[in-house]
Amino acid sequence: MGLIQKSSSNQELRHYRGNIPVGNLYTAGIAGDRFFVDLRDKGRLLGTRCPSCERTFVPARHFCEECFTRLEEYVPVPSSGTVHSLTAAHVDLDGKPLDPPHVLAFITFEGCAGGLVHRLGGAPGQSFRIGDRVEMVLKDRKKRTGGINDIEHFRPAKGSRR
Amino acid sequence: MGMRRVAVIGAGMTRFVRRAKETPKELSFEATRMALDSCEMTRDDIDCVVHGTAPDAFDGVHMKAEYLCDGSGGVGKPYTRNYVGGGTGVFAPIQGWYHIASGMFDTCLVVCEEKMSSCQPHPQGAFLTIFDHTTERALGPNLLWIFALEMNRYMQTHGITLEEIAAVSVQNKGNALDHPCAQLGKKTTVKEVLESEVLAWPVHREMVSPTSDGAVALVLASEEVARRATPKPVWIDGVGWTLDTAYWCTRDLYYPRYVETAARMAYDMAGITEPDRQIDIAEPYDPFAYKMLHHMEGLMLCGKGQAPKLVADGVTARHGRLPCCPSGGLLGVGNPIAAAGLMKIAELFWQLRGEAGKRQVPGTPRKGVAQAWGDLMQVGTVVVMGA
Ligand SMILES: [Zn+2]
């Protein structure tokens, strides 16, 4: 089989199977560890404040990538925020329909730099728009493991306009 | 050649450990912050950033240089990653060197990071696919096996004994006792090394460097900036790199000719004609004990087959005539792949400035050479540095 011969299926060529046999074990890091332990145990979002540019990053991070300062001031930030952008996935990776659609948003928090990507949820059929105020819904304390899924989703904030 | 002189003016490194709590980004940040602090610079003083890091599979982050950019000070700067396998740690400063030597930039941060503990069950898994997928992989080779073939061929060719090779582990692990960042410094004996488990004959466990997490960073500067920044710049006098064929069965394994080719390039640039006389201190790459010897020969610090005698005679000891791996090397300090190579450059920087503390070699060393190696035993990267 040469380059000038067309083959629509590479399975017709003699083939040899293989893979790269590795898995991974990650750490959340110095700041990430504090962020997730605080989320699990106290049910709040932790940020870190940069004394140089005076920004507060959420989730907490160990350094400011602009000022290149080590961040050591950890502060809780409000757990309600604003939908900065969102999307609704209608099919999964294999092309299977997702019903209801999977709604994912980038949520920012007032006075903070950064933000969280997370699911949006609420009553069935609830629709969301950019600019909506949303609040964090946590899993029960006993079900929290110290990961991003300790947050069930964000839902419309109480008393918000919609 | 119309190129500008380039100096190293600052260095920093994290401890090398088996498993760090820090994320890869955080490791990079700590090393980079320390390097900047060491020459009283801020990120604003940096024109460009070079990041060296080995396979993405180690940290488990695809395109990890982009991920690491925040921690290595690269945000909003001309930023590139380089990767030449195990040779990366000594190639990264070469890439930084040509950024400045060319006249394009005046300062460059060079950062190398590896977090191998993310890779499970063992980083060797990532290496299994460097072998030819049809002629070799079906036989199940791993890196240890091919290094065993190389070590055995080297021993056979020159009549070198296991005891002579074990002496390298003893020396380097002993040297690492004085390195505050070392993972495996210890006082050991040839007997202990030879009593350790045989992994693939003739490679014993105590002849192999560990897997490690860690980061190292340097600040490079043009001559003009360097002279303003420090009274003790350490110059990059020569650089060389080369890649041999991946048909590794066409080479005689007893001699690393790719190291010699890279060394000749670096020595020519540095005006070194008799390396065995003109080099005061060396950091040959030592992921395996025999490799320090093999690479001393490739670097032409002695004749072929002569390196074991230099170790036996104490010539390569920290207080010897030609200290080799005074840092403690990969065998003692640890082997977070790319960071381990850059650690060798940092060691020359500290030694040539007289700032190596308990590791300081006696006298006033003027010229040093560092080297790294990797891939299918095919890449050589060499840097010559001068006080
Ligand atoms: Zn800042």
- Tokens of residue B150, six digits: 């190389």
Looking up tokens 């961040």 gives A71
Tell me, yes or no, whether A53 lies in a domain: yes
- Tokens of residue B73, six digits: 């000070």
pLDDT attached to residue B123? 87
Tell me, yes or no, whether A10 lies in a domain: no
Tell me, yes or no, whether A102 lies in a domain: yes
Q: Residue A12 pLDDT > 80, yes or no?
A: no
Condensed to tens digits (0 to 9), the pLDDT of residues B74-94 reads 999 999 999 999 999 999 999
Sheet of A97-108: strands edge to edge? Answer: A116-119, A97-108, A80-91, A133-138, A151-156
Where in B180-296 does DSSP place strands (E)? 198-200, 203-204, 213-222, 234-243, 281-283
Average pLDDT over residues A151-157: 96
Looking up tokens 């009593």 gives B195
pLDDT attached to residue A161? 58
A10 — phi, psi (to 5°)?
-75, -10
Sorted by where each starts, the structural domains of chain B and their CATH numbers stand as 6-121+209-386 (3.40.47.10)
Residue A3's pLDDT band (boundaries 50, 70, 90)? low
Question: Which residues on chain B place their C-beta less than 8 Å from a C-beta of chain A?
Answer: 20-23, 25-26, 29, 32-33, 36, 42-43, 57, 60, 70-71, 73, 75, 117-121, 123, 125-126, 128-129, 133-134, 137-138
Question: Cis omega before residue B233 (within 30°)?
Answer: no
Residue type, B2: G
CB < 8 Å to A35, chain B: none
Tell me, yes or no, whether A9 lies in a domain: no
- Tokens of residue A51, six digits: 């004394």
Cα–Cα dist A31/B67, whole Å: 16
B33 closest CB neighbour out of A16, A32, A68 = A68
Looking up tokens 């380059």 gives A3
CB < 8 Å to B138, chain A: 16
Residue B43's pLDDT band (boundaries 50, 70, 90)? very high
- Best residue in A22, A50, A62, A64 to probe B by mutation, most B CBs within 10 Å? A22
DSSP secondary structure, chain A, as one string? --TTS--S-GGGS---------EE----HHHHHHHHHHHHHH--EEEEE-TTT--EEES--SEETTTTEE--EEEEE-SEEEEEEEEEEEE-TTS-EEEEEEEEEEEE-TT-EE-EEEEB--STT----TT-EEEEEEPPGGG--SSGGGEEEEEEPTT---
Which residue, A94, A89, A53, A84, is CA-closest to A71?
A53
Average pLDDT over residues B356-371: 97
Cα–Cα dist B186/B328, whole Å: 10
Q: Which domain holds residue A99?
A: 29-156
CA A71 / ligand 1 centre spacing (Å): 9
Q: Residue B55 pLDDT > 90, yes or no?
A: no
* Cα-Cα end-to-end distance for chain A: 63
Cα–Cα dist B131/A19, whole Å: 12
Q: Residue B268 pLDDT > 70, yes or no?
A: yes
Tell me, yes or no, whether A17 lies in a domain: no
Give the burial class of A66: count Cβ atoms within 10 A of its Cβ; 0-12 exposed, 13-18 middle, 19 or more buried. middle
Condensed to tens digits (0 to 9), the pLDDT of residues B117-164 reads 999 988 888 888 888 889 988 898 888 998 999 999 999 999 999 999
ipTM above 0.85, yes or no: yes
A 78-137 residues with CB < 8 A to B = none
Sign for the pseudo-dihedral over CA of B56, A63, A116, A142: positive
Kindly state whether A18 is in contact with chain B, defined as any CB-CB distance less than 8 angstroms.
Answer: yes
Cα–Cα dist B228/A50, whole Å: 30
Tell me, yes or no, whether A4 lies in a domain: no
Q: Residue B108 pLDDT > 60, yes or no?
A: yes
pLDDT attached to residue A5? 67
Kindly state whether A10 is in contact with chain B, defined as any CB-CB distance less than 8 angstroms.
Answer: no
A 50-69 residues with CB < 8 A to B = 62-63, 65-68
Query: CB B159: neighbour CB atoms within 10 A?
Result: 9
Which residue, B36, B12, B33, is CA-closest to B229?
B36
Tell me, yes or no, whether A13 lies in a domain: no
Provide the phi-psi class of A50: left if phi over 0, else alpha when psi is between -120 and 50, else beta.
beta
Cα–Cα dist B9/A149, whole Å: 45
Kindly state whether A146 is in contact with chain B, defined as any CB-CB distance less than 8 angstroms.
Answer: no
- Tokens of residue B334, six digits: 């640890």
pLDDT attached to residue A162? 55
CA A68 / ligand 1 centre spacing (Å): 7
pLDDT attached to residue A148? 97
A61's CB contacts (< 8 A; 6+ apart) are: A31, A32, A48, A71, A114
Contact A62 B29 (CB under 8 A): yes
Condensed to tens digits (0 to 9), the pLDDT of residues A36-54 reads 999 999 999 999 999 999 9
Tell me, yes or no, whether A5 lies in a domain: no
CB < 8 Å to A24, chain B: 60, 118-120
- Tokens of residue B9, six digits: 């003016």
Question: B192 vs B112, B166, B204, B333, CA distance in Å?
Answer: 33, 9, 10, 19
B9's CB contacts (< 8 A; 6+ apart) are: B39, B219, B220, B221, B225, B226, B229, B230, B233, B234
Cα–Cα dist A158/A148, whole Å: 23
Domain count, chain A: 1
Q: How far is CA A16 from the centre of its chain?
A: 38
Calculate the average pLDDT of chain B.
96
* Cα-Cα end-to-end distance for chain B: 21
State the Cα angle at B245 between B241 and B246, rounded to 5°: 115
Q: Residue A1 pLDDT > 50, yes or no?
A: no
The partner residues of A106 in beta bridges, in order of sequence, read A85, A117
pLDDT attached to residue B377? 85
Q: Residue A4 pLDDT > 90, yes or no?
A: no
Which residue, B73, B13, B358, is CA-closest to B217?
B13
Query: CB B98: neighbour CB atoms within 10 A?
Result: 15
Residue A6's pLDDT band (boundaries 50, 70, 90)? low
Cα–Cα dist B357/B351, whole Å: 9
Q: What share of chain B is helix, strand, coil (3-state, %, to 5)?
A: 40, 20, 40
